[in-house]
Structure 1
Amino acid sequence: MREKSPSDTPSAMNQIDLEPVLAVPPALTTRAFNLLREAGCVAMRWHSGGRYGSRTHTIDDDPTHTEALSIHHPSSEAECTRHSNGNEPSSKHLRPSVVTGTSSAKRMGLPLTLTGGAHVSSIMHTLKESRTAQYVSQTAEHISGDAIQPGDSAQTDMPRSAAAQALVDLLQLPGVELQHKPITLHTNIPKDESIDAEHIRTVEVARSRLREFSNVQIPGSGMKREEQRLEPPAFTFVELFAGIGGFGVGLEALGGKCVFASELLPSCIATYETNLCTDYITGGHVAGDIYEVPDEFIPTHDILVGGFPCQTFSGLGEQNGISDASGRGMLYTQIVRVLKAKQPQAFLLENVPGLLKCDDGEALDTIIGELINAGYDVSHEVVNAKCLTAQSRKRLYIVGLRKGLQSVYEPFTFPCIPDLGLRAIDILQSDSEIHEATPVPIENSIRGANLHADNTAHRDHAMPGCESSTKPGRSDLESLYRLSDAQLNQLTNARKWKPSKLAWPDKPLNTLNSHYGVSVGKGESQLVPSPAPHNPRRLTPRECARVMGFPDSYTLLNRDPSSRQGREAYLKEQYRMLGNAVCPPVITALAGSVLARCTGTLGHRNRDDWASTGVEVAVALSLGAVSPNRLESLLQRLQDTHVVHIVE
């Protein structure tokens, strides 16, 4: 065996820049990789280190550059003839014809994960001390998922693993050694596109705006969130089919207040009333079935908003449209009813792009026709939320302006929204964040209960003196979010799934839908890659909220420990509510342009340009949904590329 410390080399490379590499003769490369893969020592395509496939080093056999650990021929030739399946000698498969007892001139280096390198090093040191029996038992436990850490005692009476013995044979061959080499990058990593700053419209964002929606201290801000004072409402709105309040979050960011909201699902109502101001709503609570609410119960308001149910229009379903037997296709008629009865100055509606093609376009024509008959000039456009969120999400937005609102009619113009270039890395939680996060217990948050002041800075933690009985521990990351080996095996065999579909850090995520987290083994949910040897995992509810553009100040309720709802059912409920929501930053940007057309009667607090204010606040709201540990670097990038200019 040969060992050399990096400190003995001329360059004394920093260990941080090195990675463990198993050097093998070229004829052994494929066989060695397969054995290392079976032992969990190399990164696969679904691991964060294996995204672009396997890498190799060319080993020039210069011992002055790296430390090396090698073991030559075993004490007996017979020890090298056991094959992993027990049918034929391993020497036919493992011993290259070019090996003569010394290392070949050029060898291939197979990069190992850090844990894989430590495992191989432990094996080779064990073999050096002639404790092969102990190693075989240790390797058997490693492959079964319970690896013995270096220094632990092995149970020598355990049955020998064929795969473990095959790896023993490999590591004892001449020309096979463990080295540490400088980390190399893949040659097929795509290059980032350069940004032409001359063609970017810079958005000025006041630092005070960032403070409004951020749970962390913005550099140079000097004031915490809880020190802010609420301003009088600038306008009022009604929110139908409210869900968890995506419209409300976007409109409250502009200073609006809700005077009426309706929603059927109790879980959505509880989340809505926890996060949004209901002081202006009669009775202080969200109403239920809109069909049961008489016109006179709905107050006069400035803007009506709503995302009427889209299941009958979505391309993911049968697209039965307005004639759907469930009656969901006719829910838009309740919007028309309220518009006719209350005549607000404007409305903003959201639905799926599938509505454009549903019934060959007749469904949309019918809906727009009834909106026009209610007394409004109507415009519509498909807007992608990828400019303000970390996902690609196309949705159809319908804007209506009351006829006669302006003396000279001008068609509504949708705003130009800046692209923040948000990616998965900007919203993902680290494992430690997932372990520490504790959602607010639902029984202490329902019906708009006040949050403790100390809890404002991070509202998805339990309130002081109100410990949650379901506080996540380290096992929860594995049991709740991480795929099991059986699920991973099903996933890798699914035809429509490829590792490229994972939520890689530098890419936007796919559209989050209400079915997220269901049947993950079929490849229908985008998963987060993890370092080897861990399996991919699902997004957490907090990450889903960030994907949708909900700031971290938005509270996600925990399941009620006293209910019969299981943890998996609770998670699916969270995924469904978030997947059905609208993106608040997009609502803010669009609403600013809508309000700009209603300037004749609204109180504006001396705002000269609602449209630019809408875009500014939308950007600030988007940044409030960024992971705190990414915010400062993201702000720096946006300023360097002239997308955002922070003003005092």
Structure 2
Amino acid sequence: MGANNLSIIDLFCGTGGFSQGFLNFSTRFALKYAIDLDASASETARRNHPGILVETNDIRSVSPQSVQSAIRRKRVDVVIGGPPCQGFSSLRPNRSNKREDDRNNLYLRFAQFVEAFRPKVVVLENVVGLLTHQGGRTLDQLLESFTKLGYSVDWRILNAASYGVPQKRERFIMIAARDNRAVHFPSPTHFFDGKVIGFKDRSRYLLGGSGLLRAVSVEDAIGELPQLERGQELVCYDQDPKNDYQRARRARAKSLTLHRAANHSDRMLEVIKHAGPNISSIPKHLISSGFSSCYSRLSASEPSTTITVKFQSPASNKCIHPTQHRTITPREAARLQSFDDDYLFVGPYTEIASQIGNAVPPLLGSAIAATVLSMLN
């Protein structure tokens, strides 16, 4: 490893999208280790990061010391990760059980790895629901655990659409730094005029003004992909890319993958044919209930709403193609998450959908990487 290289470990790595953003941004970043409990997701990370130790395991049963031995280093420059956040979700606030969901304590394990590896910079990503979890006590404990380790700590709410991702995906980002480094966050590069989930302290949001680039829209992101009927799959592009975003995603792809439409039932297809911007477009006799965003189409002219693991289920969220009578394909969802078309996803389609929906958009990772690099310099 060159003297100028900056070593990273990625905890709760999922598909490896977050670390991919760092690697895409600068060749100075070098991924040394990643871990995730999900076998399909960690295999996806392994395929896309050949030669890197990607472990499939529960982090609670892995000691930092064993990782230090395996990668032959006691220190790394950067630790990144997103501890599982289902218990914090702002979408389903009353779902937690089993002592407020054991997964919510995984950030303490994250802190133990930080204590062992003493990175110069730490980046922790999570859902905005973390902020109000346990009346704010969880956030206080999280920040305190890093302050006690001697880090300067700060956090903001970042929206992926502000950084060139065609998706209004809000995330809590905590950055911690040691050795008296000042903590910085990436300045928005794109502007969108859209609703956000809402957190009372507006100073915590980083939103760009109207002088910036226009946000990347759904049409910008997926508009040149082949049209599909329900149940159909196509493996060849039939148009050239129409803009810089499409060109960048297709740069190294040899063929089109994961562009397969869900095989909707006749009844669901009837619902989809009526779909508009919200559930009120659907005739009442066709559906029984649902949130306002269910059974609705993505807007072609705006970034998409947050891509979830259920992006092929119209009853769960806004995921119907802007103009075609079907939900978006895994390839289209990956585009809206800013994955390049040559990024390999491993596993059955249901698991690939979960991997895509849970991922950190690589372009958001790259924006954060730029800030981390400036802090390290």
Give the corresponding residue for 1:586. 364
Q: Does 1:391 align with 2:180?
A: no
Give the corresponding residue for 2:234. 436
- 1:584 Cα offset (Å): 1.2
Distance in 1 between residues matched to 2:293 and 2:367, nearest whole Å: 35
Q: Does 1:375 align with 2:147?
A: no
Q: Does 1:240 align with 2:15?
A: no
Give the corresponding residue for 2:308. 513
Distance in 1 between residues matched to 2:298 and 2:263, nearest whole Å: 14
Percent identity for Structure 1 against Structure 2: 25
Distance in 2 between residues matched to 1:322 and 1:373, nearest whole Å: 29
Distance in 1 between residues matched to 2:344 and 2:170, nearest whole Å: 25
Q: Does 1:526 align with 2:302?
A: no
- The two structures have a TM-score, normalised by structure 1, of 0.45
- 1:508 Cα offset (Å): 1.7
Q: Secondary structure at the match of 2:15?
A: coil
- 1:260 Cα offset (Å): 1.3
Give the corresponding residue for 1:634. none
Give the corresponding residue for 2:355. 577
Residues 470-509 of structure 1 aligned to structure 2 (within 5 Å): 480-481=261-262, 483-490=264-271, 492=282, 493=284, 494=287, 496=291, 501-509=296-304
Gaps of 5+ in 2: 69-74, 191-212, 237-249, 273-281
- 1:577 Cα offset (Å): 0.9
Label 1:500 to 1:422 Cα distance change in 2 as closer, same or farther (>3 A): farther
Label 1:401 to 1:359 Cα distance change in 2 as closer, same or farther (>3 A): same
Distance in 2 between residues matched to 1:577 and 1:523, nearest whole Å: 17
Q: Secondary structure at the match of 1:481?
A: coil
- 1:232 Cα offset (Å): 8.8
- Aligned to 1:314, which of 80, 85, 89? 89
Q: Would you say the 8 A contact 2:87–2:100 is kept in 1?
A: no
Q: Secondary structure at the match of 2:355?
A: helix
Residues 447-466 of structure 1 aligned to structure 2 (within 5 Å): 457-458=252-253
Q: Would you say the 8 A contact 2:20–2:362 is kept in 1?
A: yes
Q: Would you say the 8 A contact 2:45–2:54 is kept in 1?
A: no
Give the corresponding residue for 1:289. 58
Q: Would you say the 8 A contact 2:310–2:357 is kept in 1?
A: yes
- 1:344 Cα offset (Å): 0.7
Distance in 2 between residues matched to 1:341 and 1:322, nearest whole Å: 31
- 1:231 Cα offset (Å): 9.2
Distance in 1 between residues matched to 2:168 and 2:251, nearest whole Å: 30
- 1:325 Cα offset (Å): 5.0
Gaps of 5+ in 1: 1-229, 439-454, 463-470, 560-569, 600-648
Label 1:460 to 1:343 Cα distance change in 2 as closer, same or farther (>3 A): farther
Q: Would you say the 8 A contact 2:168–2:303 is kept in 1?
A: yes
Distance in 1 between residues matched to 2:319 and 2:132, nearest whole Å: 26
Q: Would you say the 8 A contact 1:380–1:398 is kept in 2?
A: yes
Q: Does 1:400 align with 2:176?
A: yes
Distance in 2 between residues matched to 1:595 and 1:324, nearest whole Å: 39
Give the corresponding residue for 2:36. 263
Label 1:511 to 1:233 Cα distance change in 2 as closer, same or farther (>3 A): farther
Q: Would you say the 8 A contact 2:296–2:318 is kept in 1?
A: no
User: Aligned partner of 1:328: which letter?
Assistant: R
Label 1:598 to 1:327 Cα distance change in 2 as closer, same or farther (>3 A): same
RMSD of the TM alignment (CA)?
A: 3.0
For residues 581-614 of structure 1, give each alpha carbon's deviation from its aligned partner in whole angstroms, at most 9, with x where no partner exists: 1111111111221222222xxxxxxxxxxxxxxx
For residues 478-505 of structure 1, give each alpha carbon's deviation from its aligned partner in whole angstroms, at most 9, with x where no partner exists: xx42533301445623454579941232
Give the corresponding residue for 2:219. 425
Give the corresponding residue for 2:331. 542
In our comparison, the structure showing a higher alpha carbon Rg is 1
For residues 538-572 of structure 1, give each alpha carbon's deviation from its aligned partner in whole angstroms, at most 9, with x where no partner exists: 11111111111111231233x5xxxxxxxxxx322
Distance in 2 between residues matched to 1:316 and 1:539, nearest whole Å: 21
Give the corresponding residue for 2:206. none
Q: Would you say the 8 A contact 1:321–1:359 is kept in 2?
A: no
Label 1:490 to 1:249 Cα distance change in 2 as closer, same or farther (>3 A): same
Q: Would you say the 8 A contact 1:379–1:398 is kept in 2?
A: yes
Residues 547-626 of structure 1 aligned to structure 2 (within 5 Å): 547-557=336-346, 559=347, 570-599=348-377
Q: Would you say the 8 A contact 1:460–1:555 is kept in 2?
A: no
- 1:318 Cα offset (Å): 3.3
Range with bigger deviation, 315-324 or 326-335: 315-324
- The two structures have a TM-score, normalised by structure 2, of 0.75
Label 1:287 to 1:232 Cα distance change in 2 as closer, same or farther (>3 A): farther
Label 1:512 to 1:269 Cα distance change in 2 as closer, same or farther (>3 A): same
Distance in 2 between residues matched to 1:358 and 1:289, nearest whole Å: 23
- 1:265 Cα offset (Å): 1.2
Q: Secondary structure at the match of 1:305?
A: strand
Distance in 1 between residues matched to 2:99 and 2:13, nearest whole Å: 21
Q: Would you say the 8 A contact 1:459–1:555 is kept in 2?
A: no
> Structure 1: which 4+ aligned runs deviate by more than 6 Å?
230-233, 320-323
For residues 5-25 of structure 1, give each alpha carbon's deviation from its aligned partner in whole angstroms, at most 9, with x where no partner exists: xxxxxxxxxxxxxxxxxxxxx
Distance in 2 between residues matched to 1:275 and 1:345, nearest whole Å: 26
Distance in 1 between residues matched to 2:320 and 2:177, nearest whole Å: 41
Label 1:483 to 1:276 Cα distance change in 2 as closer, same or farther (>3 A): same
